[in-house]
Amino acid sequence: MIGALFPTGHDRRLIPQARLTGPMPWVIAVMLFLTLLAAAAALALGSAARQINADLAGRATVQIVNADGDARQKQALAAEALLRSDRAVASVTQVSEAEVRALLTPWLGSGATSRDIPLPALIDVDFRAQADGATLTRLRRAMQPVAPDARIDAHGQWLKPVFDLIATLRWLAIALVALLALATTASVMLSARSSFAAHADTIDIMHLLGSTHQQIARLFQRRIALDAALGALIGCLLAAPVLWMLGRAAARLDSGLVSAGSFGPIDWLLLATVPIAGIALAVFTARVTVLGALRKKL
């Protein structure tokens, strides 16, 4: 089955080619190397966006800012009770004052432990699903009568600029993959055309001896398939250590954001389809180019 893709001994003699001394495998190798990097970036950024979204978009913090400790605590309890009864909310955790002070100590020093500094009451809210704007507005309105000093902040909102940047970079990476595919197509078209011109006499003879256009196109597409397979192999061998090193460097950063961009099995599977898609694209392009040139013959 795979053998049918590649030229037989006779085909190779009929349309001889330079193999690795020719430019085509190397052009495809470079294109594929770059495509793999761009595709890996697109997948990593997509994975990061999904991961961060899953971690943060379903969470919010309610702050009650009131200098009067009793009033603050009363409003906090009321807000907590209201949130618990809401169907959109999965769980509610009131952050203890001790925890809030401990959180602030690195910034405020030992002064943070002073009872003289009023601190807001904090309530962590986990939603059943992603908290949309409508849910947050509804909760704000519901809390207004019982906890007028409550302010609800969705975690996703804080990271919106980061999300936007990730989304832009991801689309940029996808656009790069598309551009590289276009460039590969153009290179294969040029190569097929020049090969067609170089073997014009042979093609003419085959044509007059009764070759069908499909038979002639098959010779070229098999030839390009072999070039593309060699190029894909070289491209993959070059890209694999680069991706591995980038992965290791990212892991060493130990940042939640970066580790969220690691590859899962499906991502690796998608990356593995890149060389196969590259070979298929090259073969298809060669076929269309040669059939187009043959259409001018009787």
Partner 1 sequence: MAPSVESIVQFENVGLRYGTGPEALIDLSFTLFSGQFYFLTGPSGAGKSSLLKLLYLAQRPSRGMIRLFGSDLMTLARDRLPGFRRRIGVVFQDFRLVPHLSAFDNIALPLRIAGMRDQDIATPVREILDWVGLSARGDALPATLSGGEQQRVAIARAVITRPDILVADEPTGNVDPDMAVKLLRLFEALNRMGTTIIVATHDVHLMTRIKRAQMMRLEAGRLSDPTGALRYPPRPSDMTGWADKAPQQGEPRR
| Pairwise CA distance, residues 142 & 218, whole Å | 71
Helix (H) or strand (E) holding 58: none
Q: Which is nearer to partner 1, 127 or 196 (CB)?
A: 196
Beta bridge partners, 151, equal: 63
CA nearest neighbour of 282 among 231, 234, 213, 242: 231
Rule CB under 8 A: which residues touch partner 1? 10, 13-14, 16, 201-202, 204-212, 215, 298
Closest distance to partner 1 from the beta carbon of 13 (Å): 6
Q: Which is nearer to partner 1, 208 or 237 (CB)?
A: 208
Q: Which is nearer to partner 1, 101 or 207 (CB)?
A: 207
Q: Which is nearer to partner 1, 185 or 211 (CB)?
A: 211
Contact in structure between 92 and 84 (CB atoms under 8 Å): yes
DSSP state of 179: H
Map residue 24 onto helix, strand or coil: helix
Q: Which is nearer to partner 1, 212 or 273 (CB)?
A: 212
Closest distance to partner 1 from the beta carbon of 200 (Å): 12
Closest distance to partner 1 from the beta carbon of 298 (Å): 6
| Pairwise CA distance, residues 188 & 235, whole Å | 16
Q: Which is nearer to partner 1, 59 or 213 (CB)?
A: 213
DSSP state of 237: H
Map residue 61 onto helix, strand or coil: strand
Closest distance to partner 1 from the beta carbon of 221 (Å): 17
Helix (H) or strand (E) holding 123: strand 121-127
Q: Which is nearer to partner 1, 10 or 248 (CB)?
A: 10
Map residue 286 onto helix, strand or coil: helix
Closest distance to partner 1 from the beta carbon of 16 (Å): 6
CA nearest neighbour of 89 among 123, 50, 54: 123
Closest distance to partner 1 from the beta carbon of 34 (Å): 35
What residue type is 182 in one-letter code? L
Closest distance to partner 1 from the beta carbon of 26 (Å): 24
